[in-house]
Amino acid sequence: MLNLTVHKEHDERRQGEAYAPAETDVQQFQQKFYIESYGCAMNFADSEIVASILHDQGFGATRDFSEADLVLINTCSIREKAEQTVRKRLNDLRQIKKNKPGALIGILGCMAERLKSKLLEEERLVDLVVGPDAYRSLPSLIQEAETGQKAVNVLLSREETYADISPVRLVTNGVNSFVSIMRGCNNMCTFCVVPFTRGRERSRDPHSILRECRELFEQGYKEITLLGQNVDSYFWTPADAASPDGWGQPVTFANLLEQTAKIDPSLRIRFSTSHPKDITDEVLHVIARNDNICKYIHLPVQSGSNRILQLMNRTYTREWYMAKVDRIRELIPGCGISSDIIAGFCTETEEDHQLTLELMEYCQYDFSYMYFYSERPGTLAARRFQDDVPEEIKKRRLSEIVQLQNKLSKISNHKDIGRTVTVLIEGDSKKSNSDWMGRSSENKVLVFPKNNRAVPGDYATVTVTGSTGGTLLGEIIG
């Protein structure tokens, strides 16, 4: 597996795994559904919207696909490997129809949107194909499929934000939660399939965002991550400029971020993802002046070469990006910064690759998500450029990037030794139930021995004593 990352914990949040809520939920429902999600946090958040729509139709969630009347896979198309994973999974699911001939199988999400009804020809097992903007039509599509027809809705929308739907929290530790603030992307990075699978960018009504955040806080959640492909371009104009609730004027991401931070000082706010061209000083000031907005920015660079950045249509230069990193460190001292990096994009030379390594050194990333380029059909890059870097070279460059990031992460972790940080306890550590796992504001994962008073959702004051792999080790001092 070469989509390596130095921080397993971070990666798992993004890459996705099968999940479903506790079995007990199911008893009150006539029918059962099973849902598995792949891809980014937005897809996971969408599965919770789907669960809410299905609950209203009398479907309860089950963890056991063999007893489900409806089996759904929420898919990702970002790289070829993501699609292969889903195809393999579909193969595993063949037995469902043998055990339960009436069961329906549906493909949701980005692969549904990319392949549309072609998916039905390629995967005979599939009964439903539903794109990310069409989940409200699931009830009627299910009815159609129950009559033996194949049902497809892959219409993209300019307005849909599912603002009024209260997501059903599927797998949760009761501490962290995601809230979608926008959908789609207008950026057209040439390598990226997202603008095609998710459609035009649109921002969700801020009232419904704040309501959802407040409800989560009242239910005991302590950390909310505001989600969008490009959160810094969040922009909402009120229909009624004289509305009595204080949003009399357009709402920017900086305004929204500050409003969510004001819900309660004990509620931590994170956000993802920032596009380097759009993150403003105003946002940085809002982060700096609110203690409960985490001091951590994921700022994907993709490449360190200006020529490649231009071919990628990222619309910034390496100099501009480095100046942005300097500005973050100036306004938010100690801010955690991470990145996404693609190795072996079309025409990338050894010199371009060296420029990426140099930029990584300059930025001293705390961690990165690193990939080799995977051509996606229909994207601008697939149409305009040749995918001409041989696979062995892509992989070698990627492994050099991963090695350098491992070194940078070690340096970053070493600097933390001796520091005292506030950690939000998320639960037991993976390795031992006598240790807690939690995160610092800067998004560092910490593992430390339990004391008998704290519970998940509490803040602990922890002194960092060492590190192993990507994790910091510590001792509770308060």
Interface ranges with ligand SAH (CB under 6 A): 78-79, 191-192, 194, 229-230, 273, 275, 300, 302, 340, 342, 371, 373-374, 376
User: Judged by CB, which is closer to ligand SAH: 14, or 63?
Assistant: 14
Residue nearest to ligand SAH as judged by C-beta position: 340
Q: Which is nearer to ligand SAH, 191 or 217 (CB)?
A: 191
- Rounded to a whole number of angstroms, the minimum distance from the CB of residue 114 to ligand SAH is 12
Of 272 and 441, CB closest to ligand SF4: 272
353 binds, among ligand SF4, ligand F3S, ligand SAH, none (CB under 5 to 8 A by kind): none
Q: Under rule CB under 6 A, which residues in 375-404 are in contact with ligand F3S?
A: none
Residue 263 burial (10 A CB sphere; 0-12, 13-18, 19+): middle
The closest of 286, 153, 174, 190 to 222, measured between CA atoms, is: 174
Give the nearest distance from C-beta 112 to ligand F3S in angstroms.
10
| Binding window for ligand F3S (CB under 6 A); candidates: 54-62, 72-80, 306-314, 436-444 | 72-80
- Distance (Å, whole) CA 57 – CA 52: 9
Asked if 52 and 168 count as a contact pair (C-beta separation under 8 A), the reply is: yes
Binding mask 248-277 for ligand SF4 (x = CB under 6 A): ---------------------------x--
Helix axes 350-363, 318-331, angle to 10 degrees: 10
Whichever of 11 and 458 has its CB closer to ligand SF4, that residue is: 11
23 neighbors 59 (Cβ within 8 angstroms):
no
Q: Judged by CB under 6 A, does residue 76 bind ligand F3S?
A: yes
Strand partners, 338: 298, 367
* Contact flag: residue 185 with ligand SF4 (CB under 6 A): yes
- CA angle (317, 304, 226) in 5-degree steps: 80
Cα separation of the two ends of the chain: 40
- Choose among ligand F3S, ligand SAH, ligand SF4, none what residue 195 binds, the Cβ cut-off being 5 to 8 Å by kind: ligand SF4
According to the binding rule CB under 6 A, does residue 195 interact with ligand SF4?
A: yes
Identity of residue 160: E
The Cα 266–Cα 255 span in angstroms is 19
Residue 283, Cβ density class (10 Å: 0-12 exposed, 13-18 middle, ≥19 buried) = buried
- CB nearer to ligand SF4: give 119 or 192: 192
Which member of 6, 50, 104, 193 binds ligand F3S (CB under 6 A)?
193
In a 10 Å sphere around its CB, with 0-12 CB exposed, 13-18 middle and 19+ buried, how is residue 124 labelled? exposed
Give residues in contact with ligand F3S (CB under 6 A): 39-40, 42-43, 76-78, 109-110, 193-194, 197-198
